[in-house]
């Protein structure tokens, strides 16, 4: 090894060590790095290290988060809990599938197949699980999430200024090539929808910060990802049933007021589209909502992919990473991911992994959504329910692993119900006050 190469290697190790310490000592900054990396396309595609598997900046950030999770596990071992056990089972099945795939198809193919939907998601879930839980920490993480969502919304506005508001059934020409006409991808739209729900939980309706919720939800609608529309509707329905109070309305009338405001807004939007008040934008929204070709195409692919599982062993533990997703759809060979995360789990870590995944969500959602749970837990539980809806037609992306991890941390450290419901317990809207100062209404 030449001195120059040795110097670069030592510098790289020092940088990785510094990042790991940052994740351990300042988790809010670490989470901000992970989320903002998604705003930088080169972070997901540019190779910075080639060790048989091409490593991108986002890979290195996730590896440092995993190293920080190991450090946290040694420093503060969590209580024994089925959520920790189930997450461990998923990670072990993932590691086994990768080792078999790396031997059969090569480490590059297996690594590319594993990194985004498995290593990133469950690695960051492990990191989130090991964070030192405090209300203040969760508030700051929520503030970072909302800030990143606002940047994403601004990116969409810039795109619309250049290319117009496209629909799911249109394309635009960029540098001579036909490209997706929607400004942001479905995972980015999901992040914005979740930020809007976080604001609904975190701030009473009487404060000005609630004014930010409407443009975020409008952005989600105009991005025209139908699955995200469904996710947003499901999360809003959850907020209507579990959310905090609205202004100074009497306790008995708060839920009715929330339902009335939401129903009125939905009726107004539907009426505007139906009556043609939005012009060609309304036409695009109508086409996006009514087009069934994409769903039929996906369903055909799902059926074909199930046929690739051969024998009891593959049904139990899945096909190894790197084996691909080739199937015949409408007379063409298609090799893209299944567009269904539950099927993706079944194909790669089998029924054992799929059942562990579903059991993990059941284990963390039960305490989060039960009667008398803290509002922080209920808010995270609603976000997790939205993830399950999103997983019906898309793979889960890395930032969603953080939500799952923090929810696991709450489930492991959740107080008994009797300790949460007493005469000295503060009102629900005071439990999740935002870390930012609340302006006067």
Show pLDDT as tens, one digit a residue, over the chain (441 residues): 577 767 767 887 888 899 999 999 999 999 999 998 877 776 776 776 666 667 788 888 999 999 999 999 999 888 888 999 999 999 999 999 999 999 999 988 998 899 889 999 999 999 999 988 787 888 899 999 999 999 999 999 998 888 888 766 676 767 667 677 788 999 999 999 999 999 988 765 545 666 788 889 989 988 888 899 999 999 988 888 886 544 333 444 555 655 565 555 555 555 554 444 444 455 555 555 555 457 777 888 888 899 899 899 999 999 999 998 988 787 778 888 888 999 999 999 999 999 999 999 999 999 888 877 788 888 999 999 999 999 999 999 999 999 999 999 988 875 433 334 444 444 433 443 433 444 443
pLDDT of residue 434: 39
Contact (CB, 8 A) for 407 and 384: yes
Percent helix, strand, coil in the chain, to 5, is 70, 5, 25
Please give the C-alpha separations between residue 414 and each of 129, 263, 371, in angstroms, as whole numbers: 13, 34, 13
pLDDT of residue 224: 84
pLDDT of residue 138: 85
Alpha helices in 49-81 (DSSP H): 57-75
DSSP 224: T
DSSP bridge pairs for 348 = none
Contact (CB, 8 A) for 227 and 394: yes
Hey, which bits of 308-405 come out as E strands?
A: 327-329, 332-334
Helices 398-413 and 341-369 sit at what angle, rounded to 10 degrees?
A: 30
Separation CA 88–CA 85 (nearest Å) = 5
Separation CA 227–CA 341 (nearest Å) = 13
Helices 135-163 and 375-390 sit at what angle, rounded to 10 degrees?
A: 40
pLDDT of residue 411: 87
Separation CA 257–CA 267 (nearest Å) = 15
Separation CA 184–CA 172 (nearest Å) = 13
Separation CA 336–CA 101 (nearest Å) = 18
pLDDT of residue 137: 86
Separation CA 395–CA 347 (nearest Å) = 13
Separation CA 251–CA 268 (nearest Å) = 26
b/e burial code for range 119-136 (CB count within 10 A of at least 16 → b): bbbbbbbbbbbbbebeee
Hey, which bits of 260-416 come out as E strands?
A: 327-329, 332-334
pLDDT of residue 247: 39
pLDDT of residue 181: 78
Q: Is pTM beyond 0.85 here?
A: no
pLDDT of residue 12: 76
pLDDT of residue 189: 94
pLDDT of residue 204: 56
Contact (CB, 8 A) for 351 and 316: yes
pLDDT of residue 286: 53
pLDDT of residue 249: 39
pLDDT of residue 176: 65
């Amino acid at each position: 090894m030449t001195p120059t190469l040795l110097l670069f290697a030592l510098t790289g190790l020092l940088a990785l060590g510094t990042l790991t310490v940052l994740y351990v000592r300042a988790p809010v900054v670490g989470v901000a790095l992970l989320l903002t990396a998604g705003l930088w396309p080169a972070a997901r595609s540019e190779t910075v290290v080639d060790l048989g598997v091409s490593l991108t900046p986002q890979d290195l950030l996730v590896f440092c988060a995993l190293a920080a999770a190991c450090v946290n596990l040694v420093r503060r071992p969590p209580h024994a809990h089925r959520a920790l056990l189930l997450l461990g089972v998923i990670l072990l099945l993932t590691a086994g599938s990768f080792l078999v795939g790396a031997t059969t198809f090569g480490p590059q193919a297996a690594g590319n197949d594993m990194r985004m939907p498995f290593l990133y998601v469950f690695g960051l879930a492990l990191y989130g699980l090991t964070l030192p839980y405090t209300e203040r920490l969760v508030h700051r993480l929520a503030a970072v999430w909302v800030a990143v969502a606002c940047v994403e919304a601004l990116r969409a506005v810039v795109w619309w200024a250049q290319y117009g508001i496209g629909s799911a059934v249109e394309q635009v020409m960029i540098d001579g090539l036909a490209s997706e006409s929607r400004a942001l991808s479905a995972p980015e739209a999901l992040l914005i929808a979740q930020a809007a729900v976080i604001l609904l939980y975190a701030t009473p309706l009487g404060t000005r910060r609630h004014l930010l919720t409407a443009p975020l939800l409008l952005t989600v609608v105009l991005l025209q990802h139908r699955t995200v529309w469904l996710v947003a509707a499901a999360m809003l329905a959850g907020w209507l049933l579990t959310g905090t109070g609205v202004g100074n309305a009497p306790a008995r009338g708060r839920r009715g007021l929330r339902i009335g405001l939401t129903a009125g807004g939905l009726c107004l939007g539907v009426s505007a589209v139906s009556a043609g008040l939005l012009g060609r934008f309304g036409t695009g929204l109508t086409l996006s909502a009514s087009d069934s070709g994409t769903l039929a195409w996906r369903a055909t692919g799902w059926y074909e992919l199930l046929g690739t599982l051969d024998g009891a062993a593959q049904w139990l533990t899945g096909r190894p990473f790197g084996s691909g997703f080739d199937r015949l759809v409408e007379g063409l060979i298609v090799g893209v991911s299944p567009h269904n995360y539950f099927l993706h789990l079944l194909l790669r870590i089998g029924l054992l992994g799929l059942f562990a995944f579903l059991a993990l969500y059941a284990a963390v959602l039960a305490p989060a959504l039960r009667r008398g749970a803290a509002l922080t837990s209920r808010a995270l539980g609603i976000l997790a329910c939205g993830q399950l809806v999103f997983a019906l037609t898309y793979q889960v992306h890395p930032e969603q692993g953080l939500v799952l991890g923090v929810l696991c941390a709450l489930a492991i450290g959740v107080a008994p119900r009797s300790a949460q419901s007493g005469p000295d317990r503060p009102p629900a809207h005071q439990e999740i006050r935002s870390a930012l100062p609340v302006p006067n209404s």
